[in-house]
Structure formats: structure tokens, C-alpha cells
A and B are shown apart, each in its own frame.
Chain A
């Protein structure tokens, strides 16, 4: 069933769908409210669960009194660690596809409290209101223990993790003698950057509706980035057979990584449904959305040394990041630094500090969105020290081989990104002097940074079924978290079989469909798209064979290699006017439907010989209010090289969304921890700021041509994450250019800018 990798026709001659800026095929369902999300599926007799969260950060539950809650009319049951049903014991049974090494968190497992607002009970009632009221009535007594949540306090007790998580290699061994090279360098910077905790905050909160079927099986509507991941996790934790559970997740209201691991509500809803033999819904409240994974806070030192002409002579990038007490979450933020620039003396170092928090979790461009801003801000500081243009400095140290692994890139059009981005932005008119542009009381600054993200691929399956009516149904268990999966998969299928896009239906988000990995890491087009291509190619192969055997030989002696599919017809490649409708081909062959399933497997050998990555050059213009320190990002140009772009519209939207999130990262997003309580203080969207529409100026996305035959048969790398990576540094660098003030602690809030401006004018 393994498809042979072959360069498909669509690459040479993109079909009707591929490369077109199609609007989302699921758009009408979404804007008319017909798309249903996990917590919107209603069934008769549905009951509701509400989670009780702990009020301490660390310690033990000494007593839980549920009597008052159980007396509340409508309350059916209160689950606690004392009465929960049996669940798996071994750690490995609790691992999901995205779990790092360690011992995954188990809700309601025992009396231990390991993080603030940990779920300690589930109240199930006939109505949501009764469940919530019941939750208020549960009385929990604790024995609190001292906790530590401050990364700065633990940074010197940090340890070096190993290979803890797929996709994240430990840093390479040091090259040369970086300390000496730094000491001897003519020009150097040696600075520290601090980044805060961030939470994903998708619009849709995590919810699960578990339907208890008459035969005792479960249909689980879950908010997830991988229905198969939730499915196998539920089966493994509760000891259920694969056929006893089906997980469905056709629409996801944003996730940004929060749905990569099964969250508390899934466990709670399944547990309650199994025990009560009722259909159950559990949805997290917005504050409870701050009780699981998050982008971890980070402290980074970046030291760069250069010759007067800008040639990098030393690079030291050391990072300490938060992890929990029970898992080793890693995102090795430092590796991209050694990959982006040519330098002979390099040390990349990555450590974790254990704190009393929940395990961090991949959030859009995990690692790169943290580490790349640090190196890219440091490069700007170096350019300033060198009195050199920051684009020129980056090109001076440009590399066509990955120095970390000493391998060529499968493709790398970053040079073109700089050239086209600079042209569009008008970079050549930049006066290098900080504070050189103003309009009234507004200081204007221009900054640049590059971005990089990995071009990953996983194994995936897809099934394509072509009916004699010309309608094609393609299915894979992958997810569409708002990224455009439905649309681009339909385009790949339509392109491969020469069908109008309206003839294609793509199905996803169902554990009963052919296997697909979690949707993350920007690898869905690469993984699932290749499987869709492979399945459709098999269908095409069958059609050609049928056409060759047709009675009356309407295509003469043509062999499959001489045929093409266009416009619903099998035609002669050399003479497309000679053609037969697909329906006729199928009828004459006596088939009503052609169904093919295929698995796409990465080009492991070719891939191992290369480094595969997407790249970007991001240019930012900011306007800083000199009196108040407010920063407005008036303009962003992001030039991206990501291989073939299947759909410039949805891909452009992905990059644009990444830019907006990058603006948030640069200027607004921050989860405040009260270290005394060990709790996040701003756990709602009033106080956790993400950009509003009025914060966003113009965003211009350019896709640079990039040809890649290593990455996958489509030549497409994926664009879900590259959009955010370069943005925070481009903005920080623009703020410096506007004001002469370097803020090294994100987000760059107005008070930090103003303090810097005051210090400057005092000096």
C-alpha cells in the first residue's frame, strides 16, 4: 500500500486547483453558523460536567466534602480522586502523540496538587447551571506546600535535557572556541533577553461532548488537533477497544497548539459518560484555559562577536526555559541560530528549570518563536555596533549549508526574501541613524529580522473515491484548525484528477478515517497533502488502464503514459482534443466507483541528507509616541520562501495571522504569574491582551518562488508557523531604530519604552 515517490504531473503542469487563490470551501458553513464545534453537538439526555479547580498551587488534598453539591437539585454525581473509576497505571498508557518524556498529568488521579487551578473534582448535573452551582458547593481542604514558579529563581539550578520530544534535537556540539573568539572579536554584543509565559487563547474553548450510544460505545466530539490522537489516548487511558470509541472533530475554532495534547475536559467527559452511562459534555471556562499548556517563559543570553567587516566570529546562545515537575517539555530554542548563520565558533546551550506549573505546550512555532527573536535582536544590536545595515550583516553571514549538521538545504530562497521584501518595503531609503525619522511627536522606525521554521513531514493515509457521477470524495483523519486544510486538500485532489473543485469533497476530523498525524508543526500539507496526491494518482492510474482497454479504442493505442486528465475527461496528452468523459471510461469498464487508499511516506533518505526549512524576511515600520511610549505597527512586509504554495489566499492568511500573533508577542501578550500565589493573574481576555483590529496596520505578504524536490512530491513546505517567527524581532528592532531604546524584555509595553526614553533624555 506504500506509494512509490514519483514527481507527479501536477508539479509540471498544475491542475485547475493547485496554486489558485481559492476561498475556503468551508467558509459558507462557518459564516452561516452551520459548522458545529465540539461543545455544540446536542443529543437527548445530555448532562453537563463542571470542573472544580484547586485553590492551592502545591500540596495535598486532605478532605473533599461533596455533600452540599450532591444535595443541589439536578446534580447527579461528583467525581473526585476518591471515587473515580479505574484508569491506566503505566505512564506510557497516558502518553499521547505530542507527549514529551516524563510522567503525563493524570486528572483526579490522587490527592497530589502539582499546579495552580488543577482539576480536583467534576460535578455532573442535568443542566450546565446546576453543575456550575454544584461545583461552587464542593468544599476542598488542602495541606499546602511551598511552591516555586519564578524562572529567575531557578535558572541556576537548571539541567540539560536530552532527547525528550520528537522533532526537537538537542543542540549540536560546540564548534571552535567561542569564548576565546568572543573575547578577541573586534566588535561584540553580549546581552540577555527575557520572554514571558504566553497562552494560546483560541476563540473556542476546549470542550468535549461524549455521546453514550445504546451499545455502550462512545462517540466523542472533541476540540483537538488530531482526532486519532484523542482516540488512541482515550482507548489507552480507559482500557477500551479501538472500536468502542470514535472521535469526531470536523471544525476547530483555533488552537495554535493547545489541541495537540488531549486536555482535561476530554478525560472528564469520557470518565463521566462511562460511569454514568449518559452522554456528557464538559467545556473549560476561559480561566480554566490557563490551567494547561502554554508557551514557557525563557531567559536567553546571546553573545556575538564579529570582525569590523561584519563576519561573524563567535556565537553563544544559551537559554533557560521553564518545564514542569513531571515532564521534560523541550523546544530547544537555540538551534536555529546555529543554522541561520555561518560561524566557526559556536556554542548553543539549552537548559530546563523545574517549576510548579503545568507542563508547557507547543504554541505556534514552538522554540523558533522564542529563540529566533533573541538571535535576530542580537544581530540588530551587532549591526548597530558595526554601523552596518542589518540586511547587509545578515547577507554577509548567509549560509547555503546548515552549519549545525553540515548538510545542504533542500532549498533556501532567503536571499530572495530579503531582496523582494526590501524592495516592497522601500528599505533602501532607510537612514541607519536611530531617531532619524519623525512625524510630529511620533518617532518612526524601520526594523528587519529573518525567520526560519522546519519543513517537517509525517506518514499519513488518505482514501479517494471517485464515483461514476464524477464526484470525488477524499478522506483522511487530519484536522482543519482554521488553517485551510479542507480547501487545499480539495485543490490537490482536483488538480490531480483534473476535476472542477466543486466535484471534490474532503472529509477530515474523524478517527474512523484513514490515519493522519496531529495537525501541527506546519506539516499537514506535506504529510496529508502527499497522501491525498498518492491516493488520487492511484485512482488516475486505474482510470488510464480502463481507458486503454475501452471497447472501440477511442484513444487509439495510447498507453497510460500518453494520457492526461482534464476537465472530467481522459485525453491524449499529445492531442487533448481526443478525449473521453470519465463516466464513459468507468461505464465501459463496468465500475461504478474507483476507490484507492494510499500512505505517503517521507523521502527518508533524501531528507536525511538535507536540512529542510522555510524562511522569511520580515520588515516592520513602527510609530512610537515619544511622550507616551505607545507603539503602533503601521506596516509589515513579510517575504516567505516555503516551496510551492498550494493556495496563495489561505497561505497568505496563515502568514498574516502569524504576523498578527507576532505583533502580540512583541507588544502585548504576557501571562502574569503571582509568584506568591503561584497563579496566573490575568486569566481572561480582558487582561490577557492580544492585538485588536485597531492595533493592526498594513500587512503585505510575499511568497518567493522556491523549487524543492526533496521535501515531498508536492514541493510544498507548509506555512502555518513561519509567519510569526521573524515578527517580534523585526518590531523590537524597529522600536530601537525609532527611539534609540532597546527593550530586551518582551512584550515591549509602553511603560518600558517610556522608561527607556526618560533614561535617554536624562543621560
Chain B
């Protein structure tokens, strides 16, 4: 087994990473199950002592979700309605014990195709803040997740926060998850949508993303473009066609066939959009 670091200051954590690679542990709910029966041969960096990484709050037009903010904290924080979608996701990640321990940032950094947080983060145009002893950088979530368990994080970097830009007035969001049972289940497919209505009662901007239907969750740009300018009403959801989901590449596995996933994704996207129109 390698060394176990538990620094209290961010600078010390970054110094550790500068000194060589280490497995970062936040809530550990992804890290530990993946290692069942295998010891940690490498160094471990436990970031749970770094209080600077805690907290969720609005700051200068951005919502900041610290690297130690858990799903339960997100679900319970007093936040505006445009975050309803990701907060619904917060209540669908595992069970309550998992939500109490698991972090939003950990969910993203783990880069599972079925990570429930990622579609909402994509639809919210979220950015990841990465820190190293050389400094800070920010990259959009869409550029951060590169593939199954692969991210753009460099070994010497720590993800310190997620930053979500405040959308236009009247914005709202939704999230739909489908699993083989009602709760405590890995998603077969999920969809997230964020709407910024135009003043004339039509779709201003809409961002839609689908997860678990390919190695990474994806936005649906063709759909977003097609919806722009349409009236915000009960018929909006029905305008989504299978062709709008062409970018998805679902697979067959024990949780469902590719064909089933494609069909389910279409239904979930329509429901996510219907929820947005019903909230009006």
C-alpha cells in the first residue's frame, strides 16, 4: 500500500499532487466499491479535511458547488427553481446514505456513463474548476468528460468546484431517470433539460442532455435548435422525434438492450420537456 494523505489545506493537497500521482478520495462511494478485494498499491489523497472545498452558494452570477458538497447538501440547500432538475437528480443518486457521503464533483470526476449528475451539468452549461500548484483553470463539463472513466483532469490537478452560470429570467430545469426498479438503481437512461423562456412565450434557449446512452452523456444540439422559437405549450414535447436523438450510441447490457434504451431515451426527453412546459 502507498501513502495516505489527508491534508487540511488546499495548498498541501496540491503540493502532494505535484509530487506525484495519487488517487483522490472524496466521499469514496465510487472509489471503494471499484476496489473491492484489491488493496491500494498507489498513494491516496483524502480531501475530506479541506474545509475550503465545502459549500454551495451563488456568487457573482455563478452557482459554486464545492468539491466536498454532497448530494444531500445540494438537495437541501435553498436554491432557485432553475436548479430543480439537478436537485431531483440529487435525490436519485443511490440511496440516502450514498447521497449523504457522495459528492457532485466526485460523480463527475468518476466519469461513469451512468453518472446521474452529468446530464444536468451539461444542460446547465456547468464548468469545472481545476487547481494545481501552477494555478487555476476552468473548462466546460462537455470538454471535461472524454469517455468512459476518462476526463481532461491532469494528474497534478484537483477539481475544486463546479461553476454554473445563472441563466436568464424565468429559467427552469427538469430531470428524468429510468432504472429497473424505483430507487437505489443504476440508470438505464436519464435526461435533463434547462429552459430559458423568451419574453413572447416561446422557447428562448433550451439545453437537453441524455445520459447512459453512450460512453459519455451528450447534449442534443439538433433538438435544441429545432425547439428554439416554438411555443411553450403542451405540444412542445411531441415535436421531439427519434432523429433528434441520432447522436446517441447506446449499448446492450444486463440493464437493457440498445434498442430499448433508444426508445426509453426518447420518452425521457419528451417527459423532461413536458415537465418544463407544465411548470410555466
Q: Which residues of A are in contact with B by a Cβ distance under 8 Å?
A: 132-133, 136, 285, 627-630, 632, 667-668, 672, 681-682, 686-687, 689, 691-695, 749-751, 754-755, 758
List chain A residues, Cβ under 8 A from B268: 628
List chain B residues, Cβ under 8 A from A694: 181-183
Complex Cα–Cα for A687 and B36 (A) = 15
* Given contacts A628-B267, A687-B254, A692 and B178 within 8 Å (CB-CB): no
Residue B260 interfacial (CB < 8 Å): yes
* Given contacts A132-B37, A749-B180, A689 and B256 within 8 Å (CB-CB): no
Complex Cα–Cα for A689 and B263 (A) = 23
Q: From residue A628, how far is it (CB to closest CB) to chain B in Å? A: 6
**Judging by beta carbons under 8 Å apart, are A695 and B257 in contact?**
no
- Chain B contact residues (Cβ within 8 angstroms of A): what range? 20 to 34
Give B252-271 as 1s and 0s: 1 = Cβ < 8 Å from A's Cβ atoms.
00101100100110011000
Residue B77 interfacial (CB < 8 Å): no
Complex Cα–Cα for A133 and B257 (A) = 38
* Residue on B nearest A691 in the bound complex, by CB: B181
* Residue on B nearest A752 in the bound complex, by CB: B260
* Given contacts A136-B37, A755-B260, A695 and B254 within 8 Å (CB-CB): no
List chain B residues, Cβ under 8 A from A751: 256-257, 260
* Residue on B nearest A750 in the bound complex, by CB: B180
Complex Cα–Cα for A630 and B33 (A) = 28
- Identify which of B38, B178, B183, B184 contacts A630 (C-beta below 8 A): B178
* Given contacts A627-B267, A695-B182, A695-B183, A750 and B254 within 8 Å (CB-CB): no
List chain A residues, Cβ under 8 A from B260: 629, 750-751, 754-755
**Judging by beta carbons under 8 Å apart, are A750 and B267 in contact?**
no
List chain B residues, Cβ under 8 A from A692: 95, 181-185
Pick 24 A–B contacts, CB within 8 A, sort by A: A136-B37, A627-B267, A628-B178, A628-B264, A628-B267, A628-B268, A632-B182, A668-B180, A682-B254, A686-B33, A689-B180, A691-B181, A692-B182, A692-B184, A693-B183, A694-B182, A749-B180, A750-B178, A750-B180, A750-B188, A751-B257, A754-B260, A754-B263, A755-B260
Which of A132, A627, A628, A691: most chain B Cβ within 10 A? A628
- Identify which of A133, A632, A750 contacts B39 (C-beta below 8 A): A133
Query: Top 7 A-B pairs ranked by shortest CB distance?
Result: A694-B182, A694-B183, A627-B267, A751-B260, A692-B183, A695-B182, A751-B256
List chain A residues, Cβ under 8 A from B180: 668, 689, 749-750
* Given contacts A668-B180, A749-B180, A689 and B254 within 8 Å (CB-CB): no
List chain B residues, Cβ under 8 A from A285: 37
Give B166-199 as 1s and 0s: 1 = Cβ < 8 Å from A's Cβ atoms.
0000000000001011111110100000000000
Q: From residue B262, how far is it (CB to closest CB) to chain A in Å? A: 11
**Judging by beta carbons under 8 Å apart, are B182 and A672 in contact?**
no
Complex Cα–Cα for A692 and B178 (A) = 15
List chain A residues, Cβ under 8 A from B256: 750-751
* Given contacts A132-B37, A682-B254, A687-B254, A695 and B181 within 8 Å (CB-CB): yes
List chain B residues, Cβ under 8 A from A755: 260
List chain B residues, Cβ under 8 A from A750: 178, 180, 188, 256, 260
Q: B178-237: which residues lie under 8 A (CB-CB) from chain A?
A: 178, 180-186, 188
Complex Cα–Cα for A687 and B186 (A) = 9
* Residue on A nearest B261 in the bound complex, by CB: A751
Q: From residue B34, how far is it (CB to closest CB) to chain A in Å? A: 12
List chain A residues, Cβ under 8 A from B184: 692
Complex Cα–Cα for A30 and B178 (A) = 35
Complex Cα–Cα for A693 and B183 (A) = 8
Complex Cα–Cα for A692 and B38 (A) = 29
List chain A residues, Cβ under 8 A from B182: 632, 692, 694-695
**Judging by beta carbons under 8 Å apart, are A681 and B181 in contact?**
no
Complex Cα–Cα for A668 and B182 (A) = 11
* Residue on A nearest B266 in the bound complex, by CB: A627
**Judging by beta carbons under 8 Å apart, are B181 and A672 in contact?**
no
Q: From residue B201, how far is it (CB to closest CB) to chain A in Å? A: 25
Q: From residue A679, how far is it (CB to closest CB) to chain B in Å? A: 14
* Given contacts A628-B264, A755-B260, A686 and B186 within 8 Å (CB-CB): yes
Complex Cα–Cα for A758 and B188 (A) = 19
* Given contacts A136-B37, A751-B260, A754-B260, A668 and B254 within 8 Å (CB-CB): no
List chain A residues, Cβ under 8 A from B264: 628, 754
Q: From residue B116, how far is it (CB to closest CB) to chain A in Å? A: 14
List chain A residues, Cβ under 8 A from B181: 667-668, 689, 691-692, 694-695
Complex Cα–Cα for A285 and B188 (A) = 27
Complex Cα–Cα for A274 and B256 (A) = 49
Complex Cα–Cα for A693 and B37 (A) = 29
Q: From residue B223, how far is it (CB to closest CB) to chain A in Å? A: 17
Q: B137-190: which residues lie under 8 A (CB-CB) from chain A?
A: 178, 180-186, 188
* Residue on A nearest B185 in the bound complex, by CB: A689
Complex Cα–Cα for A658 and B264 (A) = 31
Q: B240-257: which residues lie under 8 A (CB-CB) from chain A?
A: 254, 256-257
* Residue on A nearest B176 in the bound complex, by CB: A628
Complex Cα–Cα for A629 and B188 (A) = 13
* Residue on A nearest B189 in the bound complex, by CB: A628
Q: From residue B90, how far is it (CB to closest CB) to chain A in Å? A: 16
Complex Cα–Cα for A136 and B38 (A) = 8
Q: From residue B11, how far is it (CB to closest CB) to chain A in Å? A: 33
* Residue on B nearest A695 in the bound complex, by CB: B182
* Given contacts A630-B178, A689-B181, A754-B260, A681 and B254 within 8 Å (CB-CB): yes
Complex Cα–Cα for A7 and B239 (A) = 74
What would 20 more interface pairs be, CB under 8 Å, given A628-B268, A668-B181? Answer: A136-B37, A136-B38, A285-B37, A628-B267, A630-B178, A667-B181, A681-B254, A686-B33, A686-B186, A687-B254, A689-B180, A689-B185, A691-B181, A692-B95, A694-B181, A694-B183, A749-B180, A751-B256, A751-B257, A755-B260
- Identify which of A628, A629, A632, A672 contacts B254 (C-beta below 8 A): A672
Complex Cα–Cα for A132 and B180 (A) = 33
* Residue on B nearest A758 in the bound complex, by CB: B263
Q: From residue B209, how far is it (CB to closest CB) to chain A in Å? A: 19
Complex Cα–Cα for A668 and B184 (A) = 13
List chain A residues, Cβ under 8 A from B178: 628, 630, 750
List chain A residues, Cβ under 8 A from B95: 692
* Residue on A nearest B188 in the bound complex, by CB: A750
Complex Cα–Cα for A681 and B253 (A) = 12
List chain A residues, Cβ under 8 A from B33: 686
List chain B residues, Cβ under 8 A from A627: 267
Complex Cα–Cα for A667 and B182 (A) = 12
List chain A residues, Cβ under 8 A from B38: 136
List chain B residues, Cβ under 8 A from A754: 260, 263-264
Which of B33, B256, B268: most chain A Cβ within 10 A? B256
Q: From residue A51, how far is it (CB to closest CB) to chain B in Å? A: 12
List chain B residues, Cβ under 8 A from A668: 180-181
Complex Cα–Cα for A285 and B36 (A) = 11
